[in-house]
Amino acid sequence: MKIFRLILLLLHLGLLFLLTGVLLNAYIPPKIFPWFNLLSLGFPILVIAYILLTFFWIFSWKKRAFVFMFLGLFFLNPVKRWINYSSESKETANLKVLTFNIKGGKLGSEQIIDYIDKQNADLIFIQEYGDGGELKLKNGIGKHDLSIISLYTNYKVVSRKNLFENLSDGDITAQCAQIDLEIKGKIYRVFNVHLESFGFLKSMVKLNGNGEEDEQKVKGVVKKLIPTFKSHQEQVKILREAIDNSPYPVIVAGDFNSVPNSYEYYETSKGLKDAFYEVGRGSGTSFHDYKYPLRIDYIFTSESIQPVTYEVDHSVHLSDHFPVIATFKIN
């Protein structure tokens, strides 16, 4: 029994080490050490295993349980970025934002249009909207787009810019539109973001129990992940500079192809509010195609913009992403 407990203790310490590595994404970019970013993908599994082992020590009446419980407090905020239970805000919202990767409308463009129209959002951020054709929204909202991303709004467009126009790798799936809008008499700068896709298919990540084939699949996944992490670093740097140089309050929304506690998340969210972290409830999972908790769609805002509600609409299966809807109070 002592040997068994020793093995569990070493395993628990190993999990603690790996979870600490995830937190280092806030300081170490992928081009220096990409493996910490890789760990962020496994964060839910690592945390669950850590909690289960902590309960084991509690039920075994071991003093080390208190040590692991105390150290586990350092991971409360990282967990809240995946699963959150915020109290209800008492503020009254006057701005509604929707962001939705619609997968080119392949699962029903008419149903997508009907759904978006019913939301009656003030700002609609669309990613992967297909062949460049305009969504014929019934409420007549205008369209301001690049090739795969589009912003629909009734508010006046003051200026717009393609932030990723001169990327060194020129990947077409990496796009970011910077658009200045006049909202209720004040200028706001909004960013519609789609960081570079990993280019995975289900067949590429689904293991079938064949040891040799599964090993090759894992190696293939890692070979795609690492270079994309490094590309994301360049893309986020451009976005970060644009946010820092903005003379106006900002709203940043879209598909980041990155999970919470990743380098991309930490770097983008500096000085901004994550609407889910502030007022979200339940699971923040927004990508459901792999049957694994992946939150990769976000809405960030300046400190002066107050989140009121946040919802990932898990009832809608019109894409491999769920739509994300949030409301805010602006002056």
- β pairing state of 123-127 and 149-153: antiparallel
pLDDT score of 5 = 84
Same domain for 308 and 165: yes
Let me know the angle formed at the C-alpha of 83 by 126 and 257, rounded to the nearest 5 degrees. Answer: 35
Confidence at residue 61, expressed as pLDDT on a 0 to 100 scale: 85
Element (H, E) at 20: helix 2-23
Profile the chain (331 residues) by mean pLDDT over runs of 10 residues: 85 96 96 94 95 92 89 94 89 94 87 93 91 67 83 93 81 90 96 87 54 62 85 96 97 97 97 97 92 94 97 95 97 83
Last residue of a domain, one of 80, 101, 117: 80
Q: Based on the domain organization, do 236 and 318 belong to the same domain?
A: yes
CATH number reported for the structural domain that contains residue 174 in this entry: 3.60.10.10
Quote the pLDDT of residue 178.
97
C-alpha closest to that of 293 among 304, 303, 283, 301: 283
Instruction: Indicate the number of domains in the chain.
Output: 2
Same domain, 106 and 70: no
Cα–Cα distance, 196 to 36 (Å, whole number): 19
Using CB atoms within 10 A of its CB, is residue 185 exposed (0-12), middle (13-18) or buried (19+)? Answer: exposed
pLDDT at residue 109, rounded to an integer: 85
Q: Are residues 6 and 29 located together in one domain of the fold?
A: yes
Judge if 43 and 89 occupy the same domain: no
State whether 166 and 101 are in the same domain. yes
pLDDT, position 286? 96
Length of the chain measured in residues? 331
Containing structural domain, residue 203: 85-329
**pLDDT, position 210:** 54
Global pTM exceeds 0.85? yes
* Co-location of 261 and 290 in the same domain: yes
Residues 72 and 181 in one domain: no
Q: Do 265 and 256 meet the contact criterion of CB atoms below 8 Å apart?
A: yes
Tokens 């503020």 sit on residue: 91
